[in-house]
Structure 1
């Protein structure tokens, strides 16, 4: 049985778990130490274990539930456990002699493990012993073992066991683990619905708390509705009384009227006049909202957007005839673009952008005069920019990807020639290294990572727009050709999505393209066409979010005056094989780059809801309406 399935067996107590008044009072007073920064195995003097093994200088005895005796050194056991310190020193009954013996209710294997920790600083935790070990380590205040158990549970947390771990942590006042568990539940809610057998056992108060949370990571409120149905249908007779209260947790702003009509057909809603009336009124309110398009209020709960788990950063680019240092943020939950004040000091375009360990890295580029070999790093939490090690070569029109916590910069233009050189950045060493060059010189190409291999396609070699594509095997440090694309494409975007590569748009030497093509290395021998974009464009930005491919900005052909920069955004739905419109950026621009940072602790600052709270949405709203 694997670790995940073992951990699913952690006892689920919900709201029915009981403990004594004394225990509850102690937990209220006790400070949580379950995930302190210094938690982990310690190195104790080896002589302690030697003295224990040789039974030397022992001055006390502890007994397990079976009566087995362990000779110990009271000072050593007192050092890791305030409980034993108080017991052995008689700090409660100071007029009595110090105790030298202690009877415990700890099973023999667990007591042995706790004593091993006391003497060595090491403790073996696995799925078999973690529940008992945490229980008795908490009871006897061996806080180092509590920390190790909580760290183990955190490392093994998955959608199948997170609710069990969350309730288990609550029993032992592991508040930090509970906080992490609650965050994990909200961030992985969709997977939890399908993988957790414990979801249907949630108390209604717990479910309401989850569904009301602004940070709940759902791309549509339909998922919230499905969660409500699943929970209520598990015990419909008992739980249908909570249905109206649960429906009011939904944010109706991102539902269409036809989706709400579908909800009303659920039999339990049909039989509940209050629920039925609530949804009918909500439909009317939504229609009115779509007609009038009023400003969204933070207090209007039905239209209050959730906070996105993924924050999209659009940095730099070419706008109004020159490079820009503007940054915009896209809130996918509100479908709004927000201007940021976190601009870098140097405008640049034709650069690369990627996220790594919660940081945004901007690679190479061009400011209208200089071709950069620099890399800048932005910290979204501190809002600070910093300089990183320089690349070996200046690169604009560069292709950048991140794989296995390394940043790859491929090809580009150094101001004199198109290059085939490739270099890789190690953030731990703050150092670039040259690796095997590509088979062809390319600038204005695009790269993506699929199944641990790096692919690059299209571009310009200084004379011709290219349709060739190649693949880099990191293990062998070698490049090899893959099938050529159907169209030549410079300023193209290559995206890895659902086990396939998508080459989208670009410039064929005469015009900007709307066409796109798809290639799966595992099953295809050639590229195949997919539905064309609505807007022809090249040198645009591309990202995958919410299981869609987003296309942002770029150059667009005009019939009269040549090309122009645009702010149009559209996204591709692979299930329907169609392109849909999203809100446009505030700024027209091409040659920009975008990346997504997930799970920011301050994601509210970058959300539309956060701007609503600060009353700072007027400019973005005017831009959207314009």
Structure 2
């Protein structure tokens, strides 16, 4: 109905005019129009038109298990396609809408619950969605549990501890379970068992094989798993321990090989976030190569969906599910264009162009906007800045910075944009400034301890980090961090490799750097920084030697397998039937153990489960 017709029908109902049905709910009577109810509810459509039940002539119907308040909300939706959903009424409203087959209202309730997902309620919402067969909400809630597993098992933990054996087993066996350390998964199993040890102790036989024991630290496995009293008390677990010891020995000698991906105890889990290294300068030419780094396997994967136009000295930003490639240079042309990549569909499109060509640009994201600052047009260094709004596909100019800056780098922290260092055309800068969108102003902050052009800047644990770069004489491996509370910089331990014009990002609470120029040549080396120990660690080199690249972290991809080493490893399955059969046999044994050793627990869980 049009809004006018809807308002008229609503007023007629409130006035009790032309109403041809009375609904009895919870001792109250509510008048309505059959035709309106039939238009939104399959339940009422059948109820009012069924000749078999001789209901077409009836005007009074009793609706069970629905309160007057909830029925009023359903009628509100039926007459206006709008309803006031709250945390207090959503469960009763969804249950009634499901009972009365008001599918549109079921969808609204599911959308509301999805937006409320958090570590404290995701398990409850998942169970609720399963009970009422809301498959999409169930899928999203289940995915949320997997992606936020470490937060879910921490305090408050009531929902986690009330999981059934089957529910917990289903979560633990998923590749998508997001746990930085497999030790966390094992400790979660122990916590769940200790909540009801008499009933759950035997469940260790089922749950332990779901933990990727072969990915644990050797000392932790030997001291905390092998010698655990609960594990030691079950012969089936001891057989698994012996097998894992062989796997750990294999990994120590050969590293994480492809066969490890086919073994349930050593198969790496899929990462929730991946690091993308995009474009850059390789040899004497720009490149369009894209590589994805999987921190779970310490491997870079070349991604085949590179854009057609190579570019270097560009910026990248990830916003609203899209990767933006901003400005840059291809050896001939300086770009003001912006390419947009969808990592799910692998499709490229053109976003709105910037006001200026910007090579050596600094880019970042804040509050739903992409910021682009400074750079080089091919003729001059810039102090201008602009930001992009995806809804309008347009860039708008911001107040200019205090300094002209190309080869600078930027990050966002606590609602502000920080830009550090850079090159004016004649000198390398040690100055830094921040932009506050609330006041629309740039403010100079304390200068860095070292002049840095071609540096990397990133926000990390409430500080702004400035890494590497070029001071006008040497490529740097030094690093420093800015504390906004004290407006001061402090030195950090140095990288292993000096580098400028490299990629930098934060992934899984570590600061990663990749590629760059060391003063002699482009490099492919990569390393990460642990703040707790103030140490750097080498990781796998990229496949492509390059500088002038840009890095970006992409999270929560449903097709993350396409960006990880899991994909080529899985392709070996058809070539290695023996290993595949071994894996399948192990899973079959696990299911057999579930049946023979924990029948009573299963019966108990099934009696409590919504299914």
Shift in Å, 1:601: 2.0
Query: How far apart, CA to CA, are the structure 1 residues paired with 2:21 and 2:438?
Result: 58
Q: Which residue of 2 aligns with 1:236?
A: 197
Change (3 A) 1:58 1:525: closer
Match of 1:288 among 236, 250, 275: 250
Query: How far apart, CA to CA, are the structure 2 residues paired with 1:452 and 1:294?
Result: 41
Match of 1:526 among 482, 488, 495: 488
Q: 1:491 aligned to 2:454?
A: yes
Shift in Å, 1:44: 5.9
Match of 2:348 among 378, 385, 389: 385
**Secondary structure at the counterpart of residue 566 of structure 1:** strand
**Secondary structure at the counterpart of residue 243 of structure 1:** helix
Q: Does the aligned pair in 1 maintain the 2:214–2:244 contact within 8 Å?
A: no
**Secondary structure at the counterpart of residue 527 of structure 1:** strand
Q: Does the aligned pair in 2 maintain the 1:89–1:98 contact within 8 Å?
A: no
TM-score normalised over the length of structure 2: 0.90
**Secondary structure at the counterpart of residue 142 of structure 2:** helix
Q: 1:549 aligned to 2:503?
A: no
Query: How far apart, CA to CA, are the structure 1 residues paired with 2:81 and 2:529?
Result: 54
Q: Does the aligned pair in 1 maintain the 2:214–2:247 contact within 8 Å?
A: no
Query: How far apart, CA to CA, are the structure 1 residues paired with 2:375 and 2:72?
Result: 62
Query: How far apart, CA to CA, are the structure 2 residues paired with 1:300 and 1:43?
Result: 63
**Secondary structure at the counterpart of residue 407 of structure 1:** strand
Q: Does the aligned pair in 2 maintain the 1:87–1:99 contact within 8 Å?
A: no
Q: 1:121 aligned to 2:81?
A: yes
Q: Structure 1 regions of 5+ residues with no counterpart?
A: 1-40, 558-562, 619-626
Q: Which residue of 1 aligns with 2:11?
A: 50
Q: 1:571 aligned to 2:534?
A: no
Give per-residue Cα distances to partners, 1:221-258, cap 9 Å, x unaligned.
11211211111111122212121321211224532211
Shift in Å, 1:42: 8.6
Give per-residue Cα distances to partners, 1:441-476, cap 9 Å, x unaligned.
111111000001000111111111111110111111
**Secondary structure at the counterpart of residue 451 of structure 2:** coil
Q: Which residue of 2 aligns with 1:560?
A: none
Query: How far apart, CA to CA, are the structure 2 residues paired with 1:478 and 1:488?
Result: 24
Shift in Å, 1:504: 0.8
**Secondary structure at the counterpart of residue 469 of structure 2:** coil
Q: Does the aligned pair in 1 maintain the 2:271–2:560 contact within 8 Å?
A: yes
Shift in Å, 1:116: 2.1
Shift in Å, 1:307: 1.6
Q: Mapping of 1:312-323 within 5 angstroms?
A: 312-323=275-286
Query: How far apart, CA to CA, are the structure 2 residues paired with 1:516 and 1:73?
Result: 72
Q: Which residue of 1 aligns with 2:399?
A: 436
Shift in Å, 1:514: 1.4
Aligned residue pairs total 570
Query: How far apart, CA to CA, are the structure 2 residues paired with 1:474 and 1:65?
Result: 54
**Secondary structure at the counterpart of residue 475 of structure 2:** coil
**Secondary structure at the counterpart of residue 597 of structure 1:** strand
Query: How far apart, CA to CA, are the structure 2 residues paired with 1:97 and 1:488?
Result: 85
Q: 1:103 aligned to 2:62?
A: yes
Query: How far apart, CA to CA, are the structure 2 residues paired with 1:368 and 1:349?
Result: 8
**Secondary structure at the counterpart of residue 102 of structure 1:** strand
Match of 1:266 among 207, 228, 231: 228
Change (3 A) 1:43 1:510: farther
Q: Which residue of 2 aligns with 1:3?
A: none
Change (3 A) 1:359 1:42: farther
Q: Does the aligned pair in 2 maintain the 1:44–1:120 contact within 8 Å?
A: no
Q: 1:168 aligned to 2:128?
A: yes
Match of 2:147 among 184, 187, 206: 187
Q: Which residue of 2 aligns with 1:74?
A: 34
Query: How far apart, CA to CA, are the structure 2 residues paired with 1:318 and 1:239?
Result: 58
Q: 1:448 aligned to 2:411?
A: yes
Change (3 A) 1:42 1:549: farther
**Secondary structure at the counterpart of residue 516 of structure 2:** strand
Q: Mapping of 1:323-472 within 5 angstroms?
A: 323-472=286-435
Shift in Å, 1:63: 0.8
Give per-residue Cα distances to partners, 1:63-91, cap 9 Å, x unaligned.
1122x222222222222222222222234
Change (3 A) 1:246 1:100: same
Q: Does the aligned pair in 2 maintain the 1:373–1:393 contact within 8 Å?
A: yes
Larger deviation, residues 271-280 vs 69-78 = 271-280
RMSD between aligned alpha carbons?
A: 2.0
**Secondary structure at the counterpart of residue 87 of structure 1:** helix
Query: How far apart, CA to CA, are the structure 1 residues paired with 2:112 and 2:518?
Result: 53
Match of 1:83 among 19, 22, 43: 43
Change (3 A) 1:293 1:467: same
Q: Structure 2 regions of 5+ residues with no counterpart?
A: 576-611
Q: Does the aligned pair in 1 maintain the 2:274–2:507 contact within 8 Å?
A: no
Q: Does the aligned pair in 2 maintain the 1:260–1:283 contact within 8 Å?
A: no
Larger deviation, residues 272-281 vs 528-537 = 272-281
Query: How far apart, CA to CA, are the structure 1 residues paired with 2:342 and 2:501?
Result: 26
**Secondary structure at the counterpart of residue 506 of structure 1:** strand
Larger deviation, residues 587-596 vs 75-84 = 75-84
**Secondary structure at the counterpart of residue 453 of structure 2:** coil
**Secondary structure at the counterpart of residue 269 of structure 1:** helix
Shift in Å, 1:599: 1.2
Q: Does the aligned pair in 2 maintain the 1:165–1:181 contact within 8 Å?
A: yes
Q: Which residue of 1 aligns with 2:608?
A: none
Shift in Å, 1:278: 2.9
TM-score normalised over the length of structure 1: 0.88
